[in-house]
Amino acid sequence: MGLGILASRTIRPASRLLQSQSSNFFLRTIVSKPELQSPESAAVSQPEPPNQILPPKNPIGGARVHFSNPEDAIEVFVDGYAVKVPKGFTVLQACEVAGVDIPRFCYHSRLSIAGNCRMCLVEVEKSPKPVASCAMPALPGMKIKTDTPIAKKAREGVMEFLLMNHPLDCPICDQGGECDLQDQSMAFGSDRGRFTEMKRSVVDKNLGPLVKTVMTRCIQCTRCVRFASEVAGVQDLGMLGRGSGEEIGTYVEKLMTSELSGNVIDICPVGALTSKPFAFKARNWELKATETIDVSDAVGSNIRVDSRGPEVMRIIPRLNEDINEEWISDKTRFCYDGLKRQRLSDPMIRDSDGRFKAVSWRDALAVVGDVIHQVKPDEIVGIAGQLSDAESMMVLKDFVNRMGSDNVWCEGTAVGVNADLRYSYLMNSSISGLENADLFLLVGTQPRVEAAMVNARICKTVRASNAKVGYVGPPADFNYDCKHLGTGPDTLKEIAEGRHPFCSALKNAKNPAIIVGAGLFNRTDKDAILSSVESIAQANNVVRPDWNGLNFLLLYAAQAASLDLGLIQQSPKALESAKFVYLMGADDVDVDKIPKDAFVVYQGHHGDKAVYRANVILPASAFTEKEGTYENTEGFTQQTVPAVPTVGDARDDWKIVRALSEVSGVKLPYNSIEGVRSRIKSVAPNLVNTDEREPSAFGPSLKPECKETMSTTPFQPVVENFYMTNSITRASKIMAQCSAVLLKNRVSLDLGFSLR
């Protein structure tokens, strides 16, 4: 045990006066041992505790460890605890499995390893100096120690260096309260600093209307550089200079125009890259977080809506490994300020002089109920919008059917779309399954603007396994290597018949994936195109029991659910001969096609295009204010959660249609959301099982032969402007700024081509 010299100092009361009062005054003894006074000797003389039964350790965050090769598991010791990790794991990942969270700045689990922040240093036995755990592979029998004095001293030192040139911006920095630097300096940094020189400062870079840069705060972790080049696929950012003069920026005066550029805001551990629309608006501790689903495209990215009172302040991604990992597109992230503009808040009826007059719900529903009985059943048309949830579409279909009409459909599905077999409109290999593909054939779809998260997944696959991508459609820009095979159905015919040079690549691929865009559903020759795609699939063994590579990429959040519920357009002339049109959030309907004497009811949350033709306006709630079921393009059902209260006198969509049905005399049998859901269960039970993916049951073999021929018109781009696709984004100021930048870039590109 060897105590050595036991030095004890006792404090005795100084004066007699105190001594007389000191009957209960105790003597305080300070005991010190040489082991406590030097770190090295403490490390040496640590007695090994006898083999106790140690409690089992759980990986941090409740993560699951996937052993791809169970025989190849290694055993390492983390702080005395033995853990089994797969072979390629780094020391940091082994510590995560053991439940020890090692501080880091530059390491991110989805990016490549940089190892330049040095905050993750841990002590490994038999190593002369502490190792960067994010980069060092875990070897069998390694003894890792994360809480020794050496590791602690290393962290304090790194923290001190990082804070030396870091400006004192916490009160004005948006990242305050959720800043990695703040948290780690409190947990691992030393309590006093020794820096008395001048701090360096860096000039700010202009990265666009979305990302605010204060480059003085940058700690040069290079997370944004690695993100831009690996995940987003654009090499916009880079590190210039060396040493303390290092600056992150775009070398030329270039804006970050990638559709995933907003994710660098989440990735940056300090306040160097922050959200420009959210700048100086709120602190993170005064916001209420609600976990919900995004509806701006058909992917259904998981988001967290931060709100303060009745206002949505910002949107942050949520982790979902299967759909969007940890990223969201710019449209999802920044469309929230459209929720505050152009909102419909009161029912309105158009007067005889053409102006709208606000009325009460009783009057508005009474008027609609009167008019609907004056038209013939065949002249009633109901159109669901692209942001409608499954409950409201079910109630609309029930109501229109009870009034005697069959004309109810969702916008985006043209006449004759066959929704009998689910495989013909879903992404059959699932978004996460796309990672296993080694060849992509994109037919008439530009995933970069239609579904940015699917594009991110394709980019990840191309980067990881060098997958080949062939594209048939109008010229578009991709952020990965892509062969432009052709522009129209002729190329498809060539591939189907085997004459195209791409066919050899198709035959040699083990898991080919064909992605067909939903924009092709609007063509008159769509049956012929789909049958030729299916013949390509059949010839190249794309649809097998273990791998189904025939995918359809839908455009709108409501499309999959509408096709599951059966909202299909049966007759092509339904809209032209309608006398009563019920638009439930449908803004992309061609308003000129509606006859001049038809009575139009618009039920929605924004005063967008179709409102100007309406006769009666019924205000509804937006996706952040209602609980609705949405199905994404791969068949995964999810539910939105209300984050803010409804605006004005608005009601939920399904409640309006249910009230209208009662006022019109065809009262629907349910009056609560559970009733609507049990009705949905009898039609499409997969829409009731939230957070589950229902794959399609049958393959293309059941489809009958198609006799039509393909026309030769080339495929048209579906999305003209990525930032303005639905009523919320069209009302948003941030989206308007982004699309102005986009158009300016396009114009300058065109000018560049013509000046040559």
| Rounded-to-integer distance, Cα 535 and Cα 380, Å | 39
Which listed range, 452-460, 661-669, 685-693, 698-706, lies at the site for another protein (CB under 8 A)? Answer: 661-669
Answer for the pair 346, 649: CB distance below 8 angstroms, yes or no: yes
Answer for the pair 320, 300: CB distance below 8 angstroms, yes or no: no
Compute φ and ψ for 675, nearest 5 degrees: -65, -40
Nearer Cβ to another protein (134/339): 339
Q: Write each residue from 616 to 645 as x if it is in contact with another protein (CB under 8 A), else as -, in one continuous string.
A: -----x------------------------
Give the nearest distance from C-beta 659 to another protein in angstroms.
5
**Angle formed by the axes of helices 361-372 and 653-663, nearest 10°:** 60
Nearer Cβ to another protein (260/659): 659
Does 663 engage in binding with another protein (CB under 8 A)? yes
Give the torsion through C-alpha atoms of 617, 555, 559, 687, to 10 deg. -120
Give the nearest distance from C-beta 581 to another protein in angstroms.
23
Which listed range, 22-30, 184-192, 359-367, 434-442, lies at the site for another protein (CB under 8 A)? Answer: 359-367
Minimal CA–CA distance to 291: which of 641, 542, 636, 622?
A: 641
Nearer Cβ to another protein (354/669): 669
Nearer Cβ to another protein (221/659): 659
Find residue 291's DSSP bridge partners. 304
Dihedral sign (CA 221, 227, 229, 235): negative
Nearer Cβ to another protein (230/627): 627
Does 605 engage in binding with another protein (CB under 8 A)? no
Does 396 engage in binding with another protein (CB under 8 A)? no
Minimal CA–CA distance to 493: which of 535, 445, 521?
A: 535
Residues 6+ apart with CB under 8 A from 121: 130, 131, 132, 133, 151, 154, 155, 158
Give the nearest distance from C-beta 345 to another protein in angstroms.
12
| Rounded-to-integer distance, Cα 344 and Cα 364, Å | 14
Q: From the list 441, 467, 650, 724, which residue makes contact with another protein (rule: CB under 8 A)?
A: 650
What does the DSSP 8-state code read for residue 552? E
Residue 245 one-letter amino acid? G
The full 3-state SS of 253-296, as one line of letters, equals CCCCCCCCCCHHHHHCCCCCEEECCCCCCCCHHHCEEEEEECCC
Nearer Cβ to another protein (159/364): 364
User: What's the chain's Rg over C-alpha atoms?
Assistant: 31
Does 651 engage in binding with another protein (CB under 8 A)? yes
Which listed range, 282-290, 484-492, 627-635, 659-667, lies at the site for another protein (CB under 8 A)? Answer: 659-667
Which listed range, 297-305, 306-314, 523-531, 647-655, lies at the site for another protein (CB under 8 A)? Answer: 647-655
Q: Which helix or strand (DSSP H or E) is residue 9 part of?
A: strand 7-10
Q: What is the DSSP string of 387-426?
A: T--HHHHHHHHHHHHHTT---EEETT--TT---SSGGGGS
Q: From the list 9, 110, 200, 362, which residue makes contact with another protein (rule: CB under 8 A)?
A: 362
Does 662 engage in binding with another protein (CB under 8 A)? yes
| Rounded-to-integer distance, Cα 650 and Cα 633, Å | 29
Q: From the list 658, 693, 700, 731, which residue makes contact with another protein (rule: CB under 8 A)?
A: 658
Nearer Cβ to another protein (164/673): 673
Residue 612 one-letter amino acid? Y
| Rounded-to-integer distance, Cα 332 and Cα 337, Å | 11
**Count of residues of this chain found to bind another protein when the rule CB under 8 A is applied:** 15
Q: From the list 225, 563, 659, 724, which residue makes contact with another protein (rule: CB under 8 A)?
A: 659
- Tell me the residue ranges of DSSP E strands in 86-189: 121-124, 131-132, 143-145
Which listed range, 217-225, 238-246, 331-339, 357-365, lies at the site for another protein (CB under 8 A)? Answer: 357-365
Q: From the list 548, 646, 725, 726, which residue makes contact with another protein (rule: CB under 8 A)?
A: 646
Nearer Cβ to another protein (284/290): 290
Give the nearest distance from C-beta 656 to another protein in angstroms.
8
Give the nearest distance from C-beta 727 to another protein in angstroms.
20
Strands 356-358 and 439-443: unpaired
Give the nearest distance from C-beta 649 to another protein in angstroms.
8
Q: From the list 326, 379, 527, 652, which residue makes contact with another protein (rule: CB under 8 A)?
A: 652
Q: What is the DSSP string of 695-718?
A: --S--GGGSPP-------PPPPPS
Nearer Cβ to another protein (369/717): 369
Does 313 engage in binding with another protein (CB under 8 A)? no
The full 3-state SS of 216-236, as one line of letters, equals HHCCCCCHHHHHHHHCCCCCC
Give the nearest distance from C-beta 191 to another protein in angstroms.
50
Give the nearest distance from C-beta 419 to another protein in angstroms.
31
Nearer Cβ to another protein (625/694): 625
For another protein, the binding residues in 664-723 under the rule CB under 8 A are 667, 671
Give the nearest distance from C-beta 662 to another protein in angstroms.
5
Does 373 engage in binding with another protein (CB under 8 A)? no
Nearer Cβ to another protein (373/593): 373
Nearer Cβ to another protein (268/650): 650
Dihedral sign (CA 173, 174, 179, 182): positive
Answer for the pair 515, 442: CB distance below 8 angstroms, yes or no: yes
Burial class of residue 160 in the structure, from the number of CB atoms within 10 Å of its CB (0-12 exposed, 13-18 middle, 19+ buried):
middle
Give the nearest distance from C-beta 62 to another protein in angstroms.
34
Nearer Cβ to another protein (333/655): 655
Binding residues vs another protein (CB under 8 A): 360-362, 621, 646, 650-652, 655, 658-659, 662-663, 667, 671
